[in-house]
Structure 1
Amino acid sequence: MSNLLLRLLTGKPPASPRTVSRETVAIELGNGRRIEVLRVRDPRARRIRLSVDERGPRLTLPLRASDIAGQRFVIEHGDWLLAQMALADSGAQPLQPHADASVPLRGRDWPVRWRSARALRVELAEDALVIAVPDTLKPAALPRALRDFYEGQARADVGRWLPKYLSGLPRAPSRLRYRVMSSQWGSLAPDGALSLDLSLVLAPPAAFEYVLVHELCHLIHADHSRAFWREVEARCPDWREQRDYFRASGRSLKAGLRRLIAAQ
């Protein structure tokens, strides 16, 4: 006898799936605005939870919660949700060749100046970002070139800052890489590999350098003890100001980067 038939005959409920499921749904708020929400059904969840990050709204449901209960929860918290979405909205839009645009870099917006060329190139001029594009351009090429440009700029910044800190560290990072991170700004692996969020290059240089200092100090103290923060403050006296900047503008930075480097 199959498990399904046995459950039907005995009246036992079907076994709950133990994997996470995700789907995007449209929900109309009380003010009539429709928004797309990523609905995640997670067997580990114990309560309904609503959150917003650079990718948009996310509704997490326990297995026993109904879709209707989740929809009601979103509507009840509609004002809060819209406020959080506004904070996360960077205003950055994907670039379209030869269309008026500006891009963020080092805490300011740079106008884009387009020109035609045989090969795609992205270069920083004194007063603008110059992008040379061929007549035929694959949709994914421009976001990829912009990501490469940002990584090159980030490496140049860290290359200027890193030498002055190395003498005060027990060892240098084993390697350095740039990633698009969801929540973190940086991380240090046990083997000394340092990862930095690529969107840091969009922030003011002082904020970017603070994150670098923060992660380097983990080479001295792996925790966030008072001793760790003393090391940070010795190298970055205004670290609290920079931390507050990320709390206020961090989601907007991450969202802006994702929109600019996402393939069309």
Structure 2
Amino acid sequence: MIREKIIIEDIAITLERKNIKNMYLRVLPPNGEVKVSAPLFLSDEDISNFIKSRKEWILKKQELILKNGISAPLKYKNGEKHEIWGKTYALQLIKNTTTKRVLVDEERNVIYLPVPPRSTIEKRKNILDEHYRAELKHALPEALDKCCKIVGKTPTDIKVRKMKNWGNCNQNGVITLNLNLAKKRPICLEYVLIHELCHLIEFNHGKKFKKLMDKFCPNWKEIKKELNE
């Protein structure tokens, strides 16, 4: 592979020439870096023409990334930053078979992640996700008891899993929480619990529901904004 930095139409590009058949273009978060993979036999002129033809798309993609603060995909590697209950830690991989659980050093702000040899990103992610699941389940009894007393309602059951929303409540009274809440400040967990408990009174998100939220969690709008950043 041959790698070089080039500029075409005022766009800085990392060009990688490889033994491939087709050309590939990527605009990457968090800073909109442009990467092009091109076949070894392709001429400079062909590469330049390709970039020029995609200039408008590149600029729009860069604007989208920067405007929305889109982060680079996590790779779960040494030194990468991860959060537990709103506090930031550096990840440190432990490549052995003796340590089976995630260890957190509060003084050094380090998460020690036990991984098997030649572990994949997905495997490392799953190991850390299970730690988040355990953290959330450990925090739930106290938080749920507090929020149930505030709202005056109790769910029939409560579950933790990966999901797109922070939480939901079905008509049978079962509340499901996103395990990623363990990354956020504890006040965020309380907000989501109050939100879902309010659905046991008012199932939709209309005016009555918002009045309930104003009553039971006066700063809910600020917490919601923090959650969605």
Give the distance between the partners of 1:83 and 1:199, measured in 2 at CA: 28
2:109 aligned with 1:118: no
The 5 A counterparts of 1:81-120 are 81-86=61-66, 87=68, 89-91=70-72, 93-96=74-77, 99-115=78-94, 116-120=96-100
CA contact (8 A) 2:150 2:216 kept: no
Tell me by how many angstroms 1:165 deviates.
2.2
Aligned length: 181
Gap change, CA 1:209 and 1:119, over 3 Å in 2:
same
Q: 1:230 aligns with which of 211, 220, 224?
A: 211
Give the distance between the partners of 1:178 and 1:75, measured in 2 at CA: 44
The 5 A counterparts of 1:131-210 are 131-133=113-115, 136=117, 138-139=119-120, 140-169=122-151, 171-182=153-164, 184-210=165-191
Give the distance between the partners of 2:197 and 2:92, measured in 1 at CA: 37
Query: What one-letter code is carried by the residue in structure 2 that aligns with 1:104?
Result: E
Give the structure, 1 or 2, with the largest relative contact order (CA under 8 Å, sep 6 or more): 1
Structure-1-length-normalised TM-score: 0.57
Gap change, CA 1:181 and 1:132, over 3 Å in 2:
closer
2:222 aligned with 1:241: yes
Structure-2-length-normalised TM-score: 0.64
Give the distance between the partners of 2:182 and 2:73, measured in 1 at CA: 15
Tell me by how many angstroms 1:148 deviates.
0.5
Query: What one-letter code is carried by the residue in structure 1 that aligns with 2:134?
Result: G
Give the distance between the partners of 1:31 and 1:138, measured in 2 at CA: 36
Gap change, CA 1:213 and 1:180, over 3 Å in 2:
same
1:146-174 per-residue CA deviation (whole Å, 9 max, x = no partner) reads 11101111222332211012235564222
CA contact (8 A) 2:113 2:128 kept: no
Structure 1 unaligned spans of 5+: 1-28, 37-73, 250-264
